[in-house]
A = this chain, B = another copy of it.
Amino acid sequence: MKVLAILYDGFKAAQQEPRLLGTVENKLGLAEWLKSRGHEYIVSSSKEGPDSDFQKHIQDAEVLITTPFHPGYLTRDLVQKAKNLKLCITAGVGSDHIDLNAAVDHKIQVLEVSGSNVTSVAEHVVMSILLLVRNFVPAHEMIERGDWQVSDIARQAFDLEGKVVGTIGAGRIGYRVLQRLVPFNTKELLYYDYAPLPEEAARAIKARRVEDLEEFVSQCDVVTLNAPLHEGTRGLINDKLLAKFKPGAWLVNTARGAICDRDAVARALQSGQLSGYAGDVWNVQPAPKDHVWRTMKNPLGGGNGMVPHHSGSTLDAQARYADGTKKILENYLDGKAQEAQNVIVGLGKYETKAYGRR
């Protein structure tokens, strides 16, 4: 059996730090084990264009392992060429880089390591909210360049206490974000989702559901996106919706870059309609050098909290998703049932409600 993994290059860092499991160098820690079971294991970061290792080896691989951090985009076209492909494993959470409808049609299963990094991402969201609201980045830059002018920072620094925070998507990540915000004495915690939370879960965090999206965003000082990318969420945050935001709101997106219209977000930040935008996801990854989200600022020169896609790839998370990937492989090889929560696409059908379907 041929297993193909598309991971990111860790270079020197991965040689020095064996806990960087999700790199080409450290191969999710699976190399010895797969070899001992007699399987071929190809690992590469080369993923773009017809001559890439991805497009070459996908043609006879039986298992494909990818991550959201350096996504190998499995299009319908590639699915059609992947004659032996039976199983796609996302080492992490979020399988939007795979054409799920094509996977259904070709009876390719798609699995994620569902619990592996939801906490990591939720922590990143809370951090991002705090650093935008409290105006951290310009403050740190001021110190580093040798200046000291408290008023220039304080004029756009606020407390999270007393603000309204809302999540679009109250699933495994969004709910964890709200849980972590409970002790901050926010004015209110809101959520927008296709279904209400179970009553007890909503009560535990005193969260209120708002069913109309425009009404939802107009009530929030802070909006955080915690929904998967699919046909129903692509471009959801566009000029029209941003105009309905509270003037000066903050927006945090660690879900998927393409849920936001890139240029609409930049315009909203530059005009001050948004006071800040932070997150770690980009419409293309790696983001091009000239991507406007790298350097966009609000009118006072702050409000940018962007980082590369790493929130779900802490060393703690890498240990969990490497371990989870191995368990999925073991179940597959041994013909055992997979954990239900990990199955996005089963044999010829969707098994989750989280992704939009046809």
Contact = CB atoms under 8 A, between A and B. Distances in A.
Nearest to A129: B127
Question: What 4 pairs between A and B have smallest CB-CB spacing?
Answer: A139-B307, A10-B151, A127-B130, A148-B286
Contacts of A19: 155
Contact of A140 (B157, B182, B305): B305
A309 B8 CA distance: 39
A308 interface: yes
Contacts of A159: 119-120, 123, 314, 316-317
A304 B131 CA distance: 15
Interface string A263-292: 000000000000000001000011101100
A195 interface: no
Contact of A157 (B70, B146, B155, B310): B310
Interface in A139-157: 139-140, 142-144, 146, 148-155, 157
Interface in A146-184: 146, 148-155, 157-162, 179-180, 182-184
A36 interface: no
A182 B179 CA distance: 10
Contacts of A315: 154-155, 157-158
A10 to B, nearest CB: 4
Given A135-B310, A154-B314, 12 more contacts: A13-B151, A123-B130, A123-B159, A131-B136, A136-B307, A142-B307, A143-B294, A143-B308, A144-B295, A149-B308, A154-B313, A182-B183
Contact of A154 (B11, B149, B318): B318
A231 interface: no
A308 to B, nearest CB: 5
Interface string A297-336: 0000000111111110111111000000000000000000
How many copies make up the complex? 2
A43 to B, nearest CB: 14
A63 interface: no
Contacts of A140: 137, 304-307
Contact of A310 (B150, B182, B306): B150
Contacts of A154: 13, 20, 22, 310, 313-315, 318
Nearest to A181: B183
A323 B22 CA distance: 53
A277 to B, nearest CB: 12
B307 A143 contact: yes
Contacts of A48: none
Contacts of A286: 148
Please indicate which of the listed interface residues A22, A131, A185, A313 has the most CB atoms of chain B within 10 Å of its own CB. A131
Contacts of A153: 307-308, 310
A290 to B, nearest CB: 8
Contacts of A306: 140, 143
A143 B309 CA distance: 10
A289 B146 contact: yes
B308 A148 contact: yes
Given A124-B134, A134-B311, A20 B151 contact: yes
Nearest to A286: B148
A99 interface: no
Nearest to A14: B151
